[in-house]
Amino acid sequence: MGNGVQEQRASLTRGDVLPVASSNQSESSFESLKQTHSVVNSLFSGALAGALAKTAVAPLDRTKIIFQVSSARFSAKEAYRLIYRTYLKDGFISLWRGNSATMVRVIPYAAIQFCAHEQYKGLLGGYYGFQGKALPPFPRLLAGSMAGTTAAMLTYPLDMVRARMAVTPKEMYGNILHVFVRISREEGLKTLYRGFTPTILGVVPYAGLSFFTYETLKKVHAERSGRLQPYSYERLAFGACAGLIGQSASYPLDVVRRRMQTAGVTGHTYGTILGTMREIVAEEGVIRGLYKGLSMNWVKGPIAVGISFTTFDLTQILLRKLHQMGYTNR
């Protein structure tokens, strides 16, 4: 009889433990699935945001790069003439020359950058005790800088190829693969990372300030208006401000990066960041050299960054709603 009671107790104990273990496993797998969905959503939203933003300003971006890598004086009138001459000579589509290379770079770059930013926000939020809330100023700046650096490190050779395609005639490079093969054969694989250091040095303030400004404006808006989600036009305005501040802060390094990337086809030999800066300043001056094309960036930058941040946010919201609807209908 004692054995029967012991067996019954053992049976009850086993019966009590098993559902708890099953419940823990269920919660763990749900959290894992939720995290996977979050990463996939961020990657997709970021890729779409980058593609739309860059395509919208591609003609202006190409014109800016051409002026950045030459010693020709920049003005709005000269930029317009260049765009018009390109249109007359090669047709309307030629204004988007190099955009395929841009897409090959921008889609993974934007996907990685936005996804990394979401992950870094979560990690820093947990570290500083602000999980699920708006980060304090310094972690907010740090999350953006780390996201931009991560994306730039993983996609840099594609940026190099895109710059080459933007400043060379169609006859020189047939397609993206041709650029990779020809650079590797004629200039060496190391050339694919020429300009990498100024890129990273420029990305830290650019991405940091862009994300910081956008997140800060959304936070202030929520506190002042009482609305958690801004309207679309407000998101565009916040993104435009973020782009204006971020690009202005890092612009000289962007010019240096472009000069170093295109040295092989422009006849210059740029070795170091400081050496490149000195040569640009000596030939063209500080403002006309290191800030060449900045006024065009003040037009295209806010447009591109505004579209990018707005597209990312709205796509994220849409995907979350679709995900919730899927669970509701089950």
Mind listing the pLDDT tens digit for each residue in 122-153?
Answer: 999 988 887 767 889 999 999 999 999 999 99
The DSSP call for residue 193 is G
Structural domains of the chain, count: 1
Kindly write down the DSSP assignment for every residue of 142-165, as one continuous string.
HHHHHHHHHHHHHHHHHHHHHHHH
Average confidence (pLDDT) over 163-169 = 74
Angle 259-300-200 (CA atoms, 0-180°, nearest 5)?
A: 40
pLDDT value for 17: 47
Is 11 among the domain residues? no
Assess if residue 162 is contained within a domain.
yes
Q: What percent of the chain has pLDDT over 90?
A: 33
CATH number at residue 190: 1.50.40.10
- Residue 301 in domain: yes
For residue 16, being part of any structural domain is answered with no
Domain range holding 315? 38-322
pTM score, two decimals? 0.76
- Residue 328: what pLDDT? 52
Does the pLDDT at position 164 exceed 60? yes
Residue 290, pLDDT score: 87
Judge whether 1 lies within some domain.
Answer: no
Question: Which are the contacts of 59, defined by CB distance < 8 A and separation ≥ 6?
Answer: 83, 95, 96
Rounded Cα gap, residues 268 and 258, in angstroms: 12
pLDDT of residue 220: 94
Averaged pLDDT of the chain: 83
Which range (162-166, 187-191, 213-217, 309-313) has the least confidence?
162-166
Is 196 a member of any domain?
yes
Is residue 215 domain-resident?
yes
Tens digits of per-residue pLDDT, 87-125?
A: 888 788 878 877 777 788 899 999 999 999 999 999 999
* pLDDT attached to residue 26: 66
Give the angle 174-108-234 at the CA atoms, nearest 5°. 115
- Is 274 contained in some domain? yes
pLDDT of residue 15: 44
